[in-house]
Amino acid sequence: MKKVKVLILRTAGTNCDYETQAAFELCGAVVERMHINSLIEKKDRIFEYDILAFPGGFSYGDDIASGKILANEVKNKLGNAVKKFALSGNPIIGVCNGFQTLVKMGLLPDPKLFEQISTLSFNDSDKFECRWVYLKTESKSNCIWTKNLPDIINLPVAHGEGKFIPIDNKLLESLNKNSQNVFKYCTKNGEKPGYPLVPNGSVDHIAGICNVKGNIFGLMPHPERYVFALQHPLKEGFDGKYGWGKIIFQNAVNFVK
């Protein structure tokens, strides 16, 4: 059986790379954490892997804006390779700071355009928000990462700049029409919530999006922090042992297999 190889790209300030590695390894993948400088030296190494992950953290101290420096670095020094990797249909995930990076380099929501047309900005509360939230899953989405998830799941968030803002209403309509809004913040019963269940004031309650094809996925909540039921404060799990995050990573590994 094919061994699925995952590349986790890290840099100064990345701090969720080990958790992301553990999540993928739990799902049977072979994982390598690589500093961005090493990949810049040999760009074609990216094609030795099946999945690319941008983990959470505070890359470069989130100077200027969260994920912005890393986004510019990836786009200017690795842009052609990353775009080719994405358009080939390989799974790519960006979690929290990784989501900010994907959006600000323009890989989401449209890797063909590869231009920034949305952003993730400061929370409406103007402070760091850290809690468990409920997420409504878009059942019509092509997102390969969210297959077999129920209508409502919960994951933890921890960010200061998670407010998703599309460039205009036309883009928002397009995201909804194409079922690219994969996760939206909701109440436990699936209703539209206010603060603090929407921790950032995100437009249309958006918590995660994908590209039209569904191989590129970015989200503010942290699935790597909920792969075991014991990581939940109430010890909840879909089968008593694992958390919803495991399904997300397992979906990508199974897709490649």
pLDDT tens digits along 19-28: 999 999 999 9
Residue 2 has pLDDT above 90, yes or no: no
CA atoms within 13 A on the CB side of 128: 8
Burial zone of 122 (CB within 10 Å; 0-12 exposed, 13-18 middle, 19+ buried): middle
φ, ψ at 215 (rounded to 5°)? -90, -20
Residue 1 has pLDDT above 80, yes or no: no
Rounded distance, CA 166 to CA 50, Å?
A: 29
The enclosing domain of 176 has a CATH number of 3.40.50.880
- Percent of the chain scoring above 70 in pLDDT: 100
CB 145 within 8 A of CB 106: no
Rounded to 5°, angle at Cα 110 from 171 and 160: 75
| Residue 130 falls in the annotated catalytic set | no
If you average pLDDT over residues 197-216, what whole number do you get?
A: 98
Rounded distance, CA 246 to CA 251, Å?
A: 8
Q: What's the Cα-to-Cα distance from 160 to each of 85, 109, 120, 151, 197, rounded to whole Å?
A: 30, 21, 10, 27, 15
If you average pLDDT over residues 35-52, what whole number do you get?
A: 98
As given in the structure block, the two tokens for residue 60 are: 């470069």
If you average pLDDT over residues 206-233, what whole number do you get?
A: 97
To the nearest 10°, the Cα dihedral for 226, 82, 215, 9?
A: -10
Confidence of residue 237 (pLDDT cuts 50, 70, 90): confident
Catalytic annotation, pick one of 16, 96, 143, 186: 96
Rounded distance, CA 220 to CA 184, Å?
A: 11
pLDDT tens digits along 130-177: 999 999 999 999 999 999 999 999 999 999 999 999 999 999 999 999
Rounded distance, CA 185 to CA 202, Å?
A: 9
CB 213 within 8 A of CB 86: no
What is the reported pTM?
0.97
Rounded to 5°, angle at Cα 184 from 179 and 185: 175
φ, ψ at 188 (rounded to 5°)? -60, -25
Range of 163's domain? Answer: 5-256
Task: Please report, as a single letter, which amino acid is at residue 35.
Answer: H
Residue 123 has pLDDT above 80, yes or no: yes
Number of independent structural domains in the chain:
1
| Residue 96 falls in the annotated catalytic set | yes
234 or 95, which is more confident: 95
If you average pLDDT over residues 16-39, what whole number do you get?
A: 98
**Which pLDDT value is given to residue 142?**
97
Rounded distance, CA 123 to CA 129, Å?
A: 8
Confidence of residue 235 (pLDDT cuts 50, 70, 90): confident
Task: Please report, as a single letter, which amino acid is at residue 102.
Answer: L
| Residue 32 falls in the annotated catalytic set | no
**Which pLDDT value is given to residue 236?**
80
